[in-house]
Amino acid sequence: MKYILSILTTALSAQLFAQTTVKPASPQPKPKLVVGIVIDQMRYDYIYRFWNKFGNDGFRRLVNEGFFCRNTNYNYVPTYTGPGHASIYTGTTPMVHGIIANDWYDKTTGKNLYCVEDHNTTSVGTTASEGKRSPVNMLTTTITDELRISSNMKSKVIGVALKDRSAILPAGHAANAAYWYDGSIGGFISSAYYLKELPQWVQEFNKKELAQKYLNQPWNTLIPIEQYTESVADDNKYEFIAKGETKPVFPHNLPELMKANGGLNIIRSTPFGNSLTKDFAIATIKSENLGKSETTDFLAVSFSSPDYIGHAYGPNSVEQEDNYIRLDKDLAELIAFIDTQVGKNNALIFLTADHAAPEVPNYLKDLKIPAGYINEKKMTDTLKKFLLKTYGDTLMLSFSNQQVFLNHQAADAKRLDLKQVEEAIAEFVQPMTGIAEVLTANTLNTASFTEGSRYLMQKGFNSKRSGDVLINYQPGWMDYMPVGTTHGSPYSYDTHVPLIFYGWNIKPGSSSEQVYITDIAATLAMMLNIQFPNGCTGKPIPFLVK
């Protein structure tokens, strides 16, 4: 018996010793470079609609060699560019990060506020006011901020886009730099929030005058126009006609159209805006030596031109199809450069969109599909008359982003119950043509919704910044001109976007499981072994971070 006990004691001691001497797991290695690609106004179905027109090294490569989250959606409303970029990088919704729209009525000043407006800074690289921009209006950190903090500010973070908000919000508060396009100089600028002056390499890039060179040619289709079988006829009544043109058809003679259509700013509404962005992104990686240090660097690049083209021509236009065929080539060039400069196994790339886009309502109406247009000015005038008749005062300070902002001081002076005023407005507006539902601030502050458009409206509602009454239009309805399209609704045509992860530690595959746009930042945080952004409400995507 003593012999058996001795053996057991020895075995147990050996086991305990083995357990105490096991080396702790070392941290997983990190990618040398993360590249976040956001495509402005990219619908999920474009991947498949234009698949046969794509080459093998752009979208196809990302899908075939990366992991495609096919059921990725925005989980708030309104689906605009500013909130979209902020939500991707903060991992939360406007309820928390505060970017409730591209611009909104500011209750504290009584004026409209642009989402990246900052009068306390100055322009760098231009004398125009377009440089007075910063992320000060965003209330939370971004994944890029957390990367900088985690590396003791050694990681480089840079944002690049034609649109200022698309470069600034992803780069975050602590970025090394953010650069955006200024048509007055035909080059990229920044603000004193980041830099005292443009780096020499940016100045040299601007001296090349690439925007002007791109615009010295007409915009014609890349392949024979009869092969654009995924689009409606080139000559149709659903598209914007530029000044100087008689029809919205190819070729668009850019050298002749420039003067009457914004000068060098016209590049935004052409695929060459994507090419210019790609050129600058490559120059950024090369000149800043991104991916070459011991810490992870981050380049946030946004392609803005698809949004301008979609607004003007709509999702079924030859212009938009040609744009994506050309963008595919730009992506292929960017990915190939990253492979050469950093290496596929050292770079983590993700691609998504800041929102999608609906069909042109007039096109749907011609197909006998329910759709229509809201005249917000008429609706506002009608509402003001109702309030004046009911309360002896219009009580309205502003109507913006489908939200009514009320004059609380005027209501108090008349001893009105603000909640009752909100309810009266909701009851008055609800029966109007094209209105789906109306929610009051009181309801959004006291109730809790878990699904549907009301849930999305609540996630986009910030109690300090949003209005007193929020209005949602019916599917297919919008306040817009009768040609082209816009976005901002809680419906799948605006919320469903692509999401692809590619490169470092990514195994090829796809999933149709529900993913929210706010999950991207949480997933990146897990991959990089850093803190979530401080307002993050998203969750790591499980099949990417097992």
Catalytic residue set: 81
Instruction: Give one DSSP letter per residue of 213-230, joined into a string.
Output: HHTTS-B--SS-GGG-TT
Q: What's the rounded Cα separation, in Å, for the pair 172 and 178?
A: 9
**Residue 50, C-beta contacts closer than 8 angstroms, at least 6 positions apart:** 59, 230, 321, 324, 325, 328
User: Tokens 């909640």 correspond to what residue?
Assistant: 419
> What does DSSP say about strands 509-511 and 67-69: parallel, antiparallel, or unpaired?
parallel
Q: What's the rounded Cα separation, in Å, for the pair 421 and 199?
A: 54
User: Tokens 């989250």 correspond to what residue?
Assistant: 69
Q: How many other CB atoms are found less than 10 A from the CB of residue 482?
A: 11
Q: What's the rounded Cα separation, in Å, for the pair 446 and 31?
A: 44
The continuous run of DSSP H or E covering 298 comes out as strand 297-303
Answer for the pair 498, 68: CB distance below 8 angstroms, yes or no: yes
* End-to-end Cα separation, the chain, in angstroms: 48
Sign for the CA dihedral angle at 235, 236, 238, 243 comes to positive
| Burial class (CB within 10 angstroms; exposed 0-12, middle 13-18, buried 19+) of 17 | exposed
User: Tokens 């919205």 correspond to what residue?
Assistant: 248
Length of the chain: 546
Rounded to the nearest 5 percent, the helix, strand and coil shares of the chain are 40, 15, 45
Q: What's the rounded Cα separation, in Å, for the pair 212 and 208?
A: 9
Give which of 87, 122, 120 is closest to 101, Cα–Cα: 87
Q: What's the rounded Cα separation, in Å, for the pair 166 and 159?
A: 8
Query: Is the backbone of residue 56 left (phi > 0), alpha (psi -120 to 50) or beta?
Result: alpha
